A and B are shown apart, each in its own frame.
Chain A
């Protein structure tokens, strides 16, 4: 039942969206029907709930986080459920009149129904996570509804303020609830109620309570978080009546009432809640009577009423909780009615300025009567619910140690609320008739009948509860109080309890209120307490934006040299510190080989010259020196394969660089002070990096490590990988996957360079000089030699220095030479196929060689070998790694050719 109940609004939301396509008026009626259905479903459980039983429905959601979809209906949730659905129905009815055939009806009612669903989830949830879900659904849908008139900047601003405040509070509450869950190991509200929080660390418990309280305060607009609620009056009136008076803003009150049994014993509870609630109650009551906009009067008066509820929940006695229950019901009835009244007045006269309104009873008699009845309740006059509200609140205060202070506060609140009731619900209809932007007239029934229903209900409930002591409603109140007290309780209510201090205080409040109400038109002129919360909130937001600007400028100043310095510093500074700690000098054996030192010096000088030189060409030459120096080092330390590759790569790189220079302006950038500073910075960073890396190298050279990989490769290379050249077997067999990745890098680089040259369509800045005849002759003669040599390298690579990579580079050198000597087109013709196809073929061959073994159910890249007999009778092993090698060869050849021909292309 509960699952269906919570599903009703969401299903209806979809239905409303669809219905709006059929008839523009339909969505409102969909909501009306859905709300009535949901209310009926709730009422079907009336008997059980008033008997003090609970209805539950549980299903799992995220077991690993202990989230359950646990719904639980007791007196307290029944109360809020009935408010949500009952007032929801009336609001829907009212909305059909308020919006008529507005084209935005679909969006409006869909959002409103989603809100309704969120509310129901929140008040029925027995699980912290689910409660939070419902809570935030209401925040977000409230945002959408406040900003309904989204073409107006104030509406957008108000929506934003409301959202940020309530979500901020929601997040605080979330942390509080998570703390609660973690500390008590309970994630269900009902379990917590029975277990309590005694025994957990007092400080943590207090922090946790304060976080949860902030959530309640923001949602229920308690000082100093109240500012969003008057701002939210930018919303259409049905929204103000429903969300910002009758239901959503009471969610904070609900939460506090719900947690009262488990957290109510905390010392902070009894201090913070009454203090904040009480102050808000009085402050907002003052603010209310000083407003001129009817809706803002009601908004502040709502804040004030919410303050009284929080205060009562904070007092936490059964009498206070009884008063709380009565207050919630009473307030929902009269405040929603008066909000709708304000909306109707606005709708029919074009203004909500209460000083500009008067005498409307002549043109809108039915609304006048209804509003007057609601105002009676709000004013706290007998026999309406409002009177009962004031009486019970006073009675609860009377029991407290600070009775007189509390009673005075409640009485003042009562008096000021009476003034507000007169200002908002009575004054517009009485007195002299005034001119309004539109001639006033009675609206359709939907614009006054819902007001009448609520107003009458306010009086009837008051009579039923107050006169018939054991009437049908008292068990319901008992159920509500039992739920929020955490123990069974029998409520006793009466309108007349005899003459006692409570009645005297009540009479005093009414008298004071009536006196003050005579001057209600003058109150807005009083200059004290001018606080503009919208401006304050704006100030906070602007401060945030200013801070964001500053942080962004600091963190992202747009200077690449600076970013590079930071990146390098982050990489090497910690290393430098650690190197110093490890002390590499200790045990350093300075026995260097002079030749190696000499080569190292060449490498270092080359690097320095490359960084310092004023022209590109010199930089490249210097880099070349470094590269060839590295080649010598590789040779010296026994890496012929590495040396061979390095020398070819260096050569091709220098050549390609020079071709690429044709696309750049010839002049070099000048050096000014700015770049000089960068150079100094660069030298420092480079020096630190150099020292750190040297230190690391020395440390590692003296570190004893395992050689199990090397041992394996040396042992397995010939017998298992069928190659004597360990470097090669590593490349095409043991770690062929790396090679696959690397040839992909090459392929992509080639594709990219060709694409970038073509897409940017940049012309070379200088034309290529005609090549000499000598070069052409040499190219023609060298090419066959190079091709033969490359094939030789490819074939022998598995056992001797060589291999597909080197072979591809050698062949590509030939093609490049040809391209320089003749031109790119002729070089390409020489290849027969496009370099791009060569690359693709190479990749596919390599992939195919890798996939071959999978056909036999083996891992990819497993070498599959057969022995092939040569004509001489010799048996040589041939296997897929060799095919892989051919793929590498093709890719390298294709890439180098693609680059050379693309860069030399003349357009």
Chain B
């Protein structure tokens, strides 16, 4: 007779509110996304950056109705939920608290297990929701707030190989796009503009931007020098050169990411993984040019490559629900008074 516990399909509600996306999703343990709703806050475009209090207010305004919609769309009720998973950090704490409190309240009423998810673990495990990837794999996590290389050994078990010593790659992207007048967040607008460049190699020669850390030992990143140099170059940029500049900038970011990642691959391969894989996650992984460069970089070292579909690269709640599924299956649930964390590294031993 089959073990009922193993065949039981578990349904998890996930909530995300740690930055400027309010999100709710329903995901099952057999990897079906029954609903995945993301509300991007538009309020931050005017200020050119996320104002924490504005973000927290917007999360409260929309989260409850979004949950109802996500549950309706998935055709589930509270009684069907095996767990409620919610981002408990790291991030803008005002928003995190709104999500955590909402989750605790709902869980209390129906005595549903609660799971406090590390937002970064949500990104880190997404590839296991969309593909069959086994531990340990190498993860490049690149977003507006994070840029790090980690070996994902298991759920809750990470070794950080490198991290940014200043800005995140996504921040460098968004700020450069903003200086170019492409709006905020402008990472995707920058990518679109770069697409009309016909000769990237020539563009990169004309706009020779610095590539901090490239060739240096270790796997750490640095983007602030590039951000400053780009800003200065834009001051004298002719409008007709915008596409070439964007392409050069994008390629430079790609060069930095590939250099660092390829060093991390060497360190990862020393652990003799059974099926060596590079996973790229986070908002920057939505950039097709960078994705292609990283895929190439993985292939050169004999690694399989995986990146979640674009919609699951940027902040969403399906990844939180899935991290909830993975933790639930290992019995990792949290008490009703779990704390929230503005900072919460995946590898507690990491310096940054």
Q: Do A and B come from one complex?
A: no
